[in-house]
């Protein structure tokens, strides 16, 4: 192994995602609106509040059963476990991205420990792109779901709770049209 | 003598319980760090290093908890 490679710059083609082709350009990256993540973030914040800022409630209930050393141990364990849940959830949200390239649409979906789902479809297989907005959260925060319908046995893709759905829908439709046009010319 | 025995037994059980809890926390944190490192192979982002450091910090905290739980 040549040690100088460790400090050298990345090669000319450095992929941004797994399975990227050399001539494939990443055009847009979207992910779920962060407001949706409040479902798990709010209970965690309440947990951290009672653990750190308002420990009287926890201490008074635990002091009936445990001594002070055990209580501090329980608090540290609870803090680490809450941090782990936060870490796991925030990384799942961050890496669950929808990638739109000049060749295909890819949906990476991660939820929980070891649960991974990757769906991709070629732009030339896209039949229609539909926006659906339903529910109070979608109405209040302008989040929509984009349904990408594909031809034949290709899997359909749903991009859920996207904040700039109209722009993404337009982008995918335009890319699909231009790819099909280029195919016809060839 | 009997009271001393009871105290030592409770003390020992407390340490075992602490050890098991800390070990569980350490294993859970390592598994989550491994999961995040797997996710990073799917999508390369500028935040990768931040999430790596966060995970390593939590693993170190869990390891520290395990080492101190026997005191």
Q: Is the pLDDT of residue A5 over 50?
A: no
Find chain B residues with C-beta within 8 A of A24's C-beta.
Answer: none
A179 to A4, A25, A152, A183, A184: CA distances (angstroms): 42, 14, 18, 6, 9
Q: Could you tell me what percent of chain A has a pLDDT over 90?
A: 28
The structure tokens 């779901």 sit at: A145
Co-location of A85 and A119 in the same domain: no
pLDDT for A80 equals 92
Co-location of A62 and A110 in the same domain: no
Could B14 and A18 be called an inter-chain contact, meaning their C-beta atoms sit closer than 8 Å? no
A66 Cα distance to chain centroid: 41
Could you tell me if residue A102 is inside a domain?
yes
Could A77 and B65 be called an inter-chain contact, meaning their C-beta atoms sit closer than 8 Å? yes
Q: In angstroms, rounded to a whole number, what is the distance separating the alpha carbons of residues A142 and A129?
A: 18
pLDDT for B47 equals 87
**Torsion angles phi and psi, residue B63, rounded to 5:** -65, -40
Could you tell me if residue A66 is inside a domain?
yes
Q: Is the pLDDT of residue A3 over 50?
A: no
**Domain coverage including residue B52:** 2-68
- Chain B touched by A22 (CB under 8 Å): no
Co-location of A51 and A74 in the same domain: yes
Co-location of A99 and A177 in the same domain: yes
Residue with more model confidence, A83 or A180: A83
Find chain B residues with C-beta within 8 A of A94's C-beta.
Answer: 45, 47, 51
Q: Which of B37, B42, B57 to mutate to test the interface with A (most CBs of A within 10 A)?
A: B42
Co-location of A82 and A126 in the same domain: no
Co-location of A77 and A112 in the same domain: no
Residue with more model confidence, B24 or A60: B24
A134-177 pLDDT, tens per residue?
Answer: 888 778 888 899 999 988 888 889 998 888 888 999 999 999 88
Hey, what are B44's tokens?
Answer: 């390369």
pTM for this prediction: 0.83
Q: Is the pLDDT of residue B33 over 60?
A: yes
Q: Is the pLDDT of residue B69 over 70?
A: yes
Could you tell me if residue A175 is inside a domain?
yes
What is the full DSSP assignment across B10-59? HHHHHHHHHHHHHHHHHHHHHHHHHHHHHHHHHB--TTHHHHHHHHHHHH
Q: Is the pLDDT of residue A1 over 80?
A: no
Could you tell me if residue A166 is inside a domain?
yes
Co-location of A80 and A159 in the same domain: no
Could you tell me if residue A20 is inside a domain?
no
Please state the domain count of chain B.
Answer: 1
Could you tell me if residue A156 is inside a domain?
yes
Co-location of A107 and A173 in the same domain: yes
- Chain B residue nearest residue A83, CA to CA: B58
Confidence band of A7 (pLDDT split at 50, 70, 90) = very low
Burial classification of residue A180, based on how many CB atoms lie within 10 Å of its CB (0-12 exposed, 13-18 middle, 19 or more buried): middle
Whether residue A129 contacts residue A173, with contact meaning beta carbons closer than 8 Å, is answered with yes
Q: Where are the alpha helices (DSSP H) in A11-161?
A: 38-48, 56-62, 68-95, 136-141
Please state the domain count of chain A.
Answer: 2
Co-location of A169 and A123 in the same domain: yes
A97-140 pLDDT, tens per residue?
Answer: 999 998 899 999 998 888 888 999 988 888 889 999 888 877 88
B53-66 pLDDT, tens per residue?
Answer: 999 999 999 999 98
Distance from CA of A96 to the nearest CA of B (A): 9
Q: Is the pLDDT of residue A6 over 50?
A: no
Could B42 and A17 be called an inter-chain contact, meaning their C-beta atoms sit closer than 8 Å? yes
- Chain B touched by A108 (CB under 8 Å): yes
**Domain coverage including residue A172:** 28-33+95-185
From the CB of residue B66, how many other CB atoms can be counted at a distance below 10 Å? 18
CATH of residue A120's domain is 2.30.29.30
DSSP state of A159: E
Co-location of A84 and A115 in the same domain: no
Find chain B residues with C-beta within 8 A of A16's C-beta.
Answer: 43-44
């Amino acid at each position: 192994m040549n040690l100088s490679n460790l400090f050298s710059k990345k090669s000319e083609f450095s992929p941004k995602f797994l399975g990227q082709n050399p001539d494939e350009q990443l055009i847009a990256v979207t992910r779920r609106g962060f407001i949706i993540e409040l479902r798990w973030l709010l209970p965690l914040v309440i947990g951290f509040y009672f653990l750190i800022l308002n420990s009287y409630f926890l201490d008074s209930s635990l002091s009936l059963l445990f001594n002070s050393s055990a209580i501090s141990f329980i608090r540290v364990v609870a803090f680490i476990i809450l941090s782990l849940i936060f870490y796991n959830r925030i990384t799942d949200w961050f890496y669950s991205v929808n990638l739109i390239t000049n060749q295909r649409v890819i949906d990476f979906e991660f939820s929980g420990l070891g649960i991974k789902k990757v769906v991709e479809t070629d732009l030339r297989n896209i039949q229609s792109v539909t926006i659906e907005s339903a529910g109070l959260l979608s109405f209040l925060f302008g989040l929509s779901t984009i349904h990408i319908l594909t031809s034949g046995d290709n899997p359909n893709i749903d991009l859920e709770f996207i904040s700039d759905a109209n722009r993404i829908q337009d982008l995918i439709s335009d890319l699909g049209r231009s790819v099909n046009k280029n195919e016809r010319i060839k | 003598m009997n009271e001393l025995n009871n105290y030592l037994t409770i003390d020992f059980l407390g340490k075992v319980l602490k050890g098991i809890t800390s070990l569980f926390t350490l294993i859970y944190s390592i598994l989550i760090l491994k999961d995040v490192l797997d996710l990073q192979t799917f999508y390369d982002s500028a935040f990768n290093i931040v999430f790596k450091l966060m995970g390593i910090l939590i693993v170190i905290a869990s390891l520290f908890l395990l080492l101190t739980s026997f005191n």
